[in-house]
Amino acid sequence: MTARVPSPARRRAIALVVGGLALLVLANVHLVYAALNSHPGCVPHARDKGGDQTYRAAQSAC
């Protein structure tokens, strides 16, 4: 019984799938790292209801 050697097209397809999965994993690792290491400070926002079209936080954490 001899081992089958995959064709070049099949090897290329496998390499693309493995590369895409590696890219997906690395992107998710980066997002988790950025989420855990970023500590944004409080930003100024409107604290009371106003009609001047400004956005305000639903519940301020500051």
pLDDT at residue number 26: 98
Is pLDDT at 12 greater than 90 in this prediction?
yes
From residue 61, alpha-carbon distances to 38, 44, 45, 47, 49 in Å are 16, 12, 12, 11, 17
Distance CA 27, CA 56 (A): 31
Say what the pTM is: 0.57
Q: How confident is the model over 25-62, as pLDDT tens digits?
A: 999 999 999 988 887 766 666 666 655 656 666 666 66
Closest CA to 40 of 54, 58, 61: 61
